[in-house]
Structures are given as C-alpha cells and as structure tokens.
Amino acid sequence: MKKVLVTGASRGIGYETAAAFAKNGYKVFALWHNSPEKLSDAANPGITPMQGDVSSLASMQKVREEIGEVDILINNAAISHFGLLTDLAETEWDNIMAVDLKSVFLTSKVFLPDMIRKKSGKIINISSIFGVVGGSCEVAYSTAKAGIIGFTKALAKEVGPSGIQVNCIAPGVIATEMNSRLSDDDMAALADETPLGRIGTPEEVARLALYLAEDTFITGETINIGGGFMR
C-alpha cells in the first residue's frame, strides 16, 4: 500500500485530498498544526492524523521518524493575508513565507532522500492562480505561491533522473475556509468572472492531485484548475 503525506490537511483542499486518497486505497498521513478539526471525525478510518509544524525542520524530521518514508508528498499547507502591502508587518510577511513557501523546501528536503534511494516518488505542490497572475492586496501570498511554481520547475529537473515526478496545482477560486472572509456578493461576482460560471470545490482539486499521483510521465508542470478564472 502506497503511503501519502498531506500537509495542511485539517480542512479545505488538504482534507478533501486526504479523504480522496484514503478512499482510493492509499495509506494517508494527514498533517495538522493548530487544530485537527475534521481529522478527529471517526468517519475517516483510512486517515492517520499527524501533528506537526511545516515551518520547522525539526518538526518535519520528527514526522519522518514517526511515519517513515512516503511514496507521495502533497504540500498543501498555507496561510493568507488580505490587505495593502504597506500595512503588512514584517512578522506577517515572514510567517506567510515560512508556512507557504519554506515548508515546501523543508518537507521535500526531509522526504526526498528516501525517494531518491528508491528511484521513485511523487511530490505535488499546491500553489494558487495568484501565484500565476498575482493578486491585488495579496502580495505576500502571491509571492509565496509564485515561489512554489519556480521551486517545482527546478526540482523536477533536479530529481527527474531519479525517477521522481514533481508537479504543481494552481487552484482558482475554490469554496474553502480561506475564502470565507468574502461575502456572498463577492463570491457571486467571482463566479460571474469564471468562464464556467461557478466556484470550484476542494473535491475537484483533490481529484487532480490523485490523477497526478497516479500518472507516470508528467513532471515540472503547473496545472491551473479554476474554471478558466485568470483574473
């Protein structure tokens, strides 16, 4: 049975991704930091919750010691901040970079050696459409998510000779807790701006992650999934 680690898995895209892999026969370790939320639900016996801080190398090394090597690493953990750059504190910037971008480096650093030794493995990084086109009043988030795309492209070339595939998913507007700050009118306006005329679901992103995990020849790619939304 293949083993999967999903970071930021207590809700939203991370939780649905963990659930999708569990339903398809994978052994899933779902990483949470502050609260397990849905992961405490007994209705998900195929998911093993793990507590950890993705911005800490020591914490990720401890997770590796506890669960061993994994076949698939899904870097989903993220936080955001909405507001003007001039109002953003340095500590807030550093925290977003640590959780959203540095974490991808740390988890990859910790779990890659096993994959290289086996000459097999998949890393799937969750970016954002704002990492592709940028988002006004979300400069720090957009910067971190753009960094993930660059990281993905470079690492795919580096570890491709070892049989490891590294890809990136860039969701558009998805109905998650991160977007709960938006009003119903805001969400309706975003749906109108989306060519397919609706907001996406975490389950749809999860299905794409599952597809990439089972593919054998895609690497170094960033796949947008947002109903055509390219604001």
One of 15, 26, 141, 211 is an active-site residue; which one?
A: 141
CB of 188 closer than 8 Å to CB of 179: no
Instruction: Please provide residue 52's backbone torsions phi and psi, each rounded to the nearest 5 degrees.
Output: -170, 160
Task: Please say whether the beta carbons of 72 and 3 come within 8 A.
Answer: yes
Q: How much of the chain, in percent, has pLDDT values that exceed 70?
A: 94
Concatenated DSSP letters for 12-51? HHHHHHHHHHHHTT-EEEEEESS--GGGG-TT-TTEEEEE
Radius of gyration of the chain (CA): 17
In this structure, which topology does domain 3-225 adopt according to CATH? Rossmann fold (3.40.50)
Is residue 36 over pLDDT 80? no
211 classed as catalytic: no
pTM, 2 dp: 0.95
Query: Helix-strand-coil percent breakdown of the chain, rounded to 5?
Result: 50, 15, 35
pLDDT digits 0-9 by tens, 71-100: 999 999 999 999 999 999 999 999 999 999
The Cα 13–Cα 205 span in angstroms is: 7
Burial of 161 (0-12, 13-18, 19+ CB in 10 A): exposed
State which of 25-39, 156-170, 182-196 shows the largest mean pLDDT: 156-170
Q: Evaluate if residue 42 carries a pLDDT over 60.
A: no
